[in-house]
Homo-oligomer: A and B are copies of this chain.
């Protein structure tokens, strides 16, 4: 499986975060630590979870000390236990202290998302359902957050308004119905673009499929209705369940036979995974 983050996005995200935190200079560290002092330490998980964002943490430290050694003890996507070492780091003390918070802010947030995703993935184990994210991401962090979802075993829904078509209620109303909406998009869109159409009632399914939808978004249906929808679709399109998904409900939803379950809270409400930097004595 492939986890790559585009290097440019990593560099930009780290540069922006360091600029935000360091601003006009780290006045505490510069006043107290000699420029040539060196030290080492370890990033340690304070609780169990799934790690994501090691490249970002490494990039933060190296941005302030190009010779910084950053040695991961695990890889993104790995589960760690509480008190496990996530990575060891050594280099100039000033760089460690000045980059510490930025490195941790990336790592704890993305690991929090990976951990929450993994819990959903584990909850549907045995079903064929994939757990996918949404566009409910924190502004400016979407590609990173969607990477963390993959690290947690999930898959990505579309990345933006430009890479796939999703026809929602308001679009349907404007176009005069499901069939007209799908058909109109199909006539105008390139042959490399998939079309997902929201379906709130079972009787819309055949219209959507006839007009050429690739994916049906079955919104806010209970497991029984979902199962009926899956039966009606009969493999003619991908079935995606959406709405009110939580760890309490996801297994039941998966049992309906849907292909995909999209979960907004993976990215908009994942608590941070507690990871800290412990300096060696």
Using a CB–CB distance below 8 Å, which chain A residues touch chain B?
1-2, 4-9, 13, 15-33, 35, 37, 39, 64, 93-94, 97-98, 101-102, 104-106, 108-109, 112, 130, 132, 135-143, 155-167, 169-171, 173-175, 181, 184-185, 188-194, 196, 215, 238, 240, 259-260, 265, 268-269, 271-272, 279
Contacts and interface: CB of A to CB of B under 8 A. Distances in A.
- Total copies of this chain within the assembly: 6
A21 to B, nearest CB: 5
Contacts of A156: 190
A141 B181 CA distance: 30
A162 B161 contact: no
Contacts of A170: 39, 93, 97, 279
A279 B189 CA distance: 26
16 contacts: A6-B25, A8-B18, A16-B140, A20-B142, A20-B160, A22-B161, A28-B185, A29-B161, A32-B167, A33-B174, A37-B174, A98-B161, A112-B269, A136-B272, A191-B238, A192-B215
A190 B16 contact: no
Contacts of A18: 8
Nearest to A159: B24
